[in-house]
Structure 1
Amino acid sequence: MNTPAFKHETFRDDYSFSNSAEAIRRFPFPFPEDDYMYSVNIEQHEPGAPGSVLEHLIDIDEHYLAECEDRRLTLEQDPDRCIITPHMIDAQWDMVELVMESLAADYPQWFSLSKNGDDWHWINTPMGIDQQFRFGDASTLPMPPFEFITRQVQGDWIIMDQRDDDLFADMGMVTSQADWSIAFDAGMSFKEWHGPVPQANEIGVFDRALKYLLHLQYGSPVRRLNWTMTVNPRLDTSPENYPFWGPDNVSVTPENVGDKVYLRVELQALFRLPRSNAIAFSVRGYLISLNELVTYPRWGKRLHRILKGLHPDLSEYKGLDHYRQTVIDWLAPMDDGADLGLGTQPE
């Protein structure tokens, strides 16, 4: 993987976010076919191609520092975006181990972890963190272990406790969600949490997903892609902050659609944790503007077909109704009707 230069950019106010050519090339375009139906689409979270977002268990890219800073700002305004229930202490330390060991192994140019028994030394060079602590002793860290480590990684993390043959969202660091609230969903069961998704319950998607995840094994994480769209590159599109981003949905015009509308793809990975037996659910979001996306014409053609055929219930659920037709019309001249076959490769 090429070492990215961390960018100075924002996901609010002036919206200075953009993708380099390399970030566009490695974008996880989620549509291998010309139509879309909600599905489990789970696969093993094994190392992918060098340079891809799947190369490592936890992806670090050029937006790392900007995303961590956006998380800090969101937590400063609303500390309840980090929810930790008292019985999840073992899962907190599981997360410290998972993230620190993964980052130190995969990105030694930026992260270092040394251990002497339970005495650990963690160095995060990009963020200027040099922390010695005793593993298992929360008093040796400046904040709860889960919050400490998830402030240093991109994407949201929800930790699901397994009990009574179900999974419950009992801990989370959620500052970049697509129109849902960790404060509202905390403590919900797996199917309660996913209840608003249209079509999926009718075809039993979540029954199958729950059954699968209850048998998830330690050391065998899995992943899937999910997607939506958003207006402006704002990470925090939470219900709590709807007054700040909701009006943007009616601001799209044929003239500005290429700049303002973004495809938002979530790489969702699930890890069984060793001490707590909980499941860590990571939701890593990637944003790409339509202008950036159509630099690969194959992607523009396929997105046009996906949006044309999208079920009305899914369009409404994903919040696309205000600007979906404008996007379809903008993409239409790029779609020559040629057979694209299967796959997501940009070339």
Structure 2
Amino acid sequence: MADIKDWRSLSDTTPEWDAVLESMGGQAFDIGMFEDIQTLRGFISATKKNMTASHSPVPGVKEEKDHQVTMRDGGKITVRTYTPEKAAGPLYVMYHGGGFSIGGLENEELLCRLLCGQLGFVAVNVDYRLAPEHKFPTAHNDCWDATKWAAENASQLSADPSKGFIIGGTSAGGNIAATISHLARDEKFSPPLTGCHMMIPAICAVDALPEKYKKDQHSWEQNKNAAILSRKACDLFYDCYLPVADRGSELFSPLLFKTGHACLPPSYFQICGQDPLRDEALIYERLLREDEGLKTKVDVYPGLPHGFWSVFPKIESSKRFVEESVKGVKWLLEQN
């Protein structure tokens, strides 16, 4: 990111996005316009299914199977696995986005299939429990428990984590991935994680951001009225999941981990320019790369809002995002 001197320039619009807005009558779509979580859940489910349907079938996927997995509190969640035609591939565990409140297995169906079919991963798609029915830290705990389940059952799933063990997620799922990368390191998790994939991640609650980083945090204000995910939408999700007092917890704001960030696995970031969450992700990537000397790779999408590829799957930038998701995970695999 050293070549981008002013992160604020990443909000500058592009002709492609201007054309999208024009097609919508100049009115940007915003999740914050939904006041009811249940209605929003239905809309997002339909949108994600449409995104998956807009792509050609993925060859190389031998089997998709749902498993009921018991969590630490006795509750059960669904975990869907994708097995490649060639067995004993690396392992990827996926945490979907949706502000901890919406979304499900359909969110990352396409990417799981692509990672399985094109790179030979056994992909594990985690359907963690949602807020407001299940408050913080349920989503984080469910994903950590599901990751442990995947590792413990790797051989039965035809996976070989020694060839690569990557976790990843989008938005809220990216937040969870960042948190779990720290938990796995601190607990000396075996087999060890070999990569972390964070798509448009939430990394640190703005109110909890350390003073030394505040001079670089402009996106929260600059993109407060951005399309798809506005500040109003962020507040809706955060209020569903946890109270303000908990937003400085290291589990929710992994930038604040008391044990620091040394010895984390290589990290791949995908970051949108017109996203309120943009700068916290850029701050975190810089910290890993410059302060800790860790391997990172970043793809930035200037002038585009949070989650654009899901809502507008047919534009060229959306196709590029999906392609680069696979290429970035391949890069993580090569670091093993």
Report the TM-score, using the length of structure 2 for normalisation. Answer: 0.29
Higher helix fraction (1 or 2): 2
Compare CA radii of gyration and give the structure with the larger one.
1
